[in-house]
């Protein structure tokens, strides 16, 4: 099993980017430790505040955000960062080559029940002509990403990472404190019989998604001619990890439950990095109408519908949207 640096070096990844990734992972190791301590460290439960998304912040949300923000800005190679937990971007080194976006603790509502949570991050090139406090720095399509990944805090702490040379899986070895390669070149099966959706929102979905899921539920007696199983972790990082490991389709479609927020997932902090990982593993990612990684953001906290996973199943779902 190999460590991260030699693997990235063989792919021709720039030394500065390797150093930045190692710094992000150092913060994630600390988050992993805090998560593992749980109530013993007094990190469970909620704060009295809300983030820019209007969501109640968990204590671990704040801790993870501060850890990542501090170590990333100290690298000197980052021009600015943007976090799901921050109202605005945070400026770094004006000469920095990179931008970093992150969801410090995806699925944080799971912390109090000891279920899966994770950190999602994306790295973009920085425009040297723009100031580090200019939010338009981040308004780039997902295709511009130079790296993306997540760290899953579960029974073992795992990393999924891509720099555009496939998606690899690593496991944190606590004996020496580093991530070791345990899954070279993840490959999402083209076909699947598993889907991950929040079925409680079914009545609020658009008609194409309603028809698609209704046909899944009919199983062998329906037009799909086979039985499907549903899996739902309520943390995107956990559901996407399952897709990377054994296939499936994950979706958080547009709904009418809240007219001010028809889409749930954030383009820059969740949808783009996960789409990069999935596409590099042979899957596809779409809103149902367009490729997610080709969307030009208009706001750093923009939300989008997400449908990603096994190629044939996502294409089938997209077909319902085009009918």
Does 74 belong to an annotated binding site? Answer: no
Does 108 belong to an annotated binding site? Answer: yes
Does 84 belong to an annotated binding site? Answer: yes
Alpha carbons 137 and 129: distance in angstroms, whole number: 10
Does 258 belong to an annotated binding site? Answer: no
Does 174 belong to an annotated binding site? Answer: no
Question: Quick check: 235 and 106 in contact, CB under 8 A?
Answer: yes
- Tell me whether strands 78-83 and 98-106 are parallel, antiparallel or unpaired: parallel
Does 109 belong to an annotated binding site? Answer: yes
Alpha carbons 141 and 92: distance in angstroms, whole number: 21
Does 218 belong to an annotated binding site? Answer: no
Does 65 belong to an annotated binding site? Answer: no
Does 115 belong to an annotated binding site? Answer: no
Question: Residue 53's CB: how many other CB atoms inside 10 A?
Answer: 15
Alpha carbons 319 and 298: distance in angstroms, whole number: 27
Q: Which residues fall within 8 angstroms of residue 40, CB to CB, at 6 or more apart?
A: none
Does 118 belong to an annotated binding site? Answer: no
Among 271, 118, 248, smallest CA distance to 191 is for: 248
Binding site members for substrate: 106-109, 198, 264
Binding site members for Mg(2+): 84, 103, 105-106, 270
Binding site members: 84, 103, 105-109, 198, 264, 270
């Amino acid at each position: 099993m190999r460590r991260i640096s030699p693997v990235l070096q063989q792919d021709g990844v720039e030394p500065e980017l390797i150093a930045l990734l190692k710094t992000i992972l150092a913060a994630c190791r600390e988050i992993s430790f805090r998560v593992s301590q749980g109530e013993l460290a007094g990190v469970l439960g909620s704060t009295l505040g809300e983030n820019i998304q209007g969501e109640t912040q968990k204590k671990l949300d704040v801790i993870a955000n501060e850890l990542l923000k501090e170590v990333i800005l100290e690298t000197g190679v980052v021009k600015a960062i943007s976090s799901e937990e921050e109202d605005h971007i945070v400026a770094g080194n004006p000469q920095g080559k990179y931008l970093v976006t992150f969801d410090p603790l995806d699925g944080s509502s799971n912390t109090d029940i000891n279920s899966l949570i994770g950190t999602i991050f994306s790295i973009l090139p920085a425009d040297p002509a723009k100031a580090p406090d200019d939010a338009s720095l981040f308004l780039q399509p997902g295709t511009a990403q130079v790296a993306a990944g997540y760290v899953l805090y579960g029974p073992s702490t795992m990393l999924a990472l891509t720099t555009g040379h496939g998606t690899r899986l690593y496991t944190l070895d606590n004996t020496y404190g580093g991530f070791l390669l345990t899954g070279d070149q993840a490959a999402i099966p083209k076909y699947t019989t598993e889907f991950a959706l929040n079925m409680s929102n079914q009545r609020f979905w658009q008609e194409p998604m309603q028809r698609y899921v209704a046909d899944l539920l009919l199983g062998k007696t329906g037009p799909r001619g086979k039985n499907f199983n549903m899996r739902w972790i309520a943390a995107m990082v956990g559901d996407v990890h399952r897709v990377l490991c054994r296939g499936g389709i994950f979706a958080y479609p547009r709904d009418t439950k809240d007219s001010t927020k028809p889409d749930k997932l954030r383009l820059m902090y969740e949808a783009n990095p996960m789409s990069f990982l999935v596409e590099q593993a042979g899957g596809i990612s779409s809103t149902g109408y367009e490729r997610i990684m080709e969307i030009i953001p208009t706001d750093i906290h923009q939300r989008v519908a997400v449908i990603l996973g096994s190629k044939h199943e996502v294409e089938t779902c997209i077909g319902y949207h085009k009918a």
